[in-house]
């Protein structure tokens, strides 16, 4: 086995019966190309399984936690809890980054690309726990590690898209609907970059940059929420 996972098992308080299964959860497809025969397989099938287990556990958790909330709101909460950003945060929290088995090329990825790899590995880990330890162990792991993220999600309204959140707060606090305007457009047609400003009446609250107007508007709305302390 290419790495010793015993410290990681202690950190998550789970001792795997099948060590190879845990190793597989950390193995990216690219690693196999450079290390043939070293590991049994990559983590994509485990990720597929873990995604379903994760969604079921979180759905049940939210159903019990919020008996009065409508289906649409619960769906938004769930999406915020199981998305790549939250899953990557949890993976980092439990130290998964140092155990990832990647090709030399993939190992150079940082930022959003590394976040996606971590999120996928977390789902694969959930799948591995489910196979090796059973549903209750997987449920316990998810509730301990992922469910606590809900407090911040609700507090920061991360379950809403930034534009909806800004509109709601602007109408609530100041009785006005935000408006958006393109301030700058740069680059060739195939690689445009837009700078968008968001306004309350005549006041420029914030600016955002993106590869599309929609992306730049969302970035501006997010910045405006921060600027206003909303």
Per-residue pLDDT tens digits for 88-134: 999 999 999 999 998 877 767 666 667 889 999 999 999 999 999 99
Tell whether pTM > 0.75: no
Specify which residues 184 forms β-bridges with: 195
Which residues participate in catalysis according to the annotation?
51, 123
Contact predicate 208/219, CB 8 Å = yes
Round to whole Å and give the CA distance between 35 and 126. 24
Give residue-wise pLDDT tens across range 199-217: 999 899 999 988 888 888 9
Gyration radius from the chain CA atoms: 21
Domains and CATH numbers, the chain: 6-155 (1.10.1520.10), 162-228 (3.30.160.20)
């Amino acid at each position: 086995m290419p790495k010793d996972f015993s410290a990681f098992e202690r950190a998550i308080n789970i001792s795997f019966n099948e060590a190879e299964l845990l190793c597989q959860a950390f193995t990216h497809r690219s690693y196999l190309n450079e290390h043939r025969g070293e590991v049994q397989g990559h983590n994509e099938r485990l990720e597929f399984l873990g995604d379903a287990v994760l969604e079921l556990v979180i759905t049940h958790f939210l159903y019990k936690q919020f008996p009065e909330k409508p289906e649409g709101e619960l769906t938004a909460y769930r999406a915020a809890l199981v998305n790549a950003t939250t899953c990557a945060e949890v993976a980092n929290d439990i130290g998964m980054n140092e155990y990832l088995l990647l090709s030399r090329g993939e190992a150079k990825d940082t930022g959003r690309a590394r976040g996606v790899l971590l999120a996928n590995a977390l789902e694969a880990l959930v799948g591995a726990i489910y196979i090796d330890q059973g549903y209750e162990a997987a449920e316990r792991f998810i509730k301990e590690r992922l469910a606590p993220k809900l407090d911040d999600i609700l507090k920061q309204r991360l379950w809403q898209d930034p534009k909806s959140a800004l509109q709601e707060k602007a109408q609530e606090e100041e009785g006005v609907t935000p408006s958006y305007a393109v301030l700058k457009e740069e680059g060739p047609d195939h690689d445009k970059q837009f700078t968008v400003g968001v306004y309350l009446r005549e006041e420029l609250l914030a600016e955002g940059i993106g590869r599309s107007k929609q992306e730049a508007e969302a970035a501006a709305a997010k910045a405006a929420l921060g600027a206003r302390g909303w």
